[in-house]
Structure 1
Amino acid sequence: MTGFFSEDTSVETVNARMGADIDPRMAEVFAAVIKHTHALVKEIGLTQAEWEQVIGFLTATGQICSDERQEFILLSDVMGLSMLVDAINNRRPEAATENTVLGPFHVAGAPERAMGETISLDGKGESCLFEGRVLDLDGQPIEGARIDVWSDNADGFYDVQQPEVQPKWNNRGVFTTGADGAYAFRGIKPVSYPIPDDGPVGKLLAALGRHPYRPAHIHFIVTAPGFDTLVTHTFAGEDDYLTSDAVFGVKQSLVAPYERREDGAETTWRSPFDFSLTRV
């Protein structure tokens, strides 16, 4: 090894420049990044013009980021990387409810609500009763489980996206289970919606012939003392985008039934779903 750069020895030359006393995990991760990115460039014969396009895309992605918008997270999502990292870090027994991505619209401090109370404050959408139980892997109810829930409104927007339009805490709430592990609350039947596609990531999706839509879903964070935290969604079973979710968040086990009910002139729904938690 001479220390001089060549196409054949590019990986070894770059990785050899790392110091001897750096963090071992940093060294492992960076060495793998260099190995695989250099291999990609060599495999596809990346041109100078194409590399300039890549740099321009990453620059534009950073420039559009703000306190309200994180375009790099969006890029991670549409590449399936967010879901892959989530899957690797949340491996669970087969009987446990599966994790999926948190998403960008969770807000800490949602109001505590009584069981059966509604989270829908704007009066829009088709009413839906969400109910089920929080159980351990032996099927025993978990008392004191906290269920933090949030969803979009009937127009496909979260309250934080429309602070001047929607009431604060619209379609959000926290519920705590009793001895029977049961939960119940009223919300609305969620609707599918597009992720923000007016920036670089949206242009990338269009260039790839992909749509920006997420299938209808409702978010849950379920916590209980002595159990792993569950971050997940349940998805409306008949949604057109279940198998083409823009961020790859759908898992088959998280597709929930939505039972239609006719209540006079009003259409209402019921969506039953049990959550199974793993012990720490």
Structure 2
Amino acid sequence: MDSIVIEALVRALSVGTPLLLACLGAILNERAGVVNLGVEGLMAVGALAAFAVASKSPDANLWVAVGAAMLAGAALSLLHAFATVTLRANQFVSGLALALIGTGAAGLLGKKFEGLPLFNKVPDWTLGSFTISPFTVAALILAGLLAFWLTATRGGLTLRSVGENPAAADVLGVNVGLTRVLAVLGGGALAGLAGAFLSLSYRSSWADNMTNGLGWIAVALVIFVGWRPLRAIAGALFFGFLYYLQFRLQGNSNVPTEVFSAMPFILVLVVLALAGVRGQAGDAPAALGRAYVRGER
């Protein structure tokens, strides 16, 4: 029984890895006051960039592929930063556009990679009778580092002040625009890393729509965990377990497979509703979603 529980936890954590990485990126964005609904597109572009580099030859450096995914995510998120910080466009509209651009571009450019072999995948690490991906370990470490950085460092305090009261931060000499742009780029890089996990480790292939809504769940997960990186670990584990349960029960139950596929998305609606009832939205940064214009109140 213990081995079954441990296996379920390990598998759930593995499935929850892209959710955790993408959620951490969204937390970084939103702590600076910028909403980014384009996580799904950033993950798709990251997954494609990683696979494109890794599938070139058997000697391709997988860690260069990971770097390419993070760079692609950051580069695409620069569009969102320019629109929302420089042009002060509506953050929600810009994020939705980014999601469409990212998934559309990845689907179009990735057609030539469909069905191609991945000569080498990122190798898993063996822990006793179980295996775990280096991406999963990295995600857990990043969650701890981000939590520490946000709460115990000057840079983290600066970023949080921009998200809470950008006018006060500006008065104290903080470059609000630059801080927000860097936060968006960092969040995009983490979303790209989540995509790299899908194409280099979890699925070890490229296919259109391989993110399958994970980016949207990650956006909702930010609210569910109250914008706290360490809580994101538990949240990702919870949704990862739902996906794991979906795979285990399909074919072993009289319930239609569509019900299992819809489970994570149904739970997103439920947890967001519960968060609203509990008033958890009050934990959001005070200036979240609002463009900053110097001199305006």
Does TM, scored on the shorter chain, surpass 0.5? no
- More helix, by proportion: 2
Higher relative contact order structure (alpha carbons within 8 Å, sequence separation ≥ 6): 2
Larger radius of gyration between Structure 1 and Structure 2: 1
Higher strand share goes to which structure? 1
TM-score, normalised by the number of residues in structure 2: 0.24
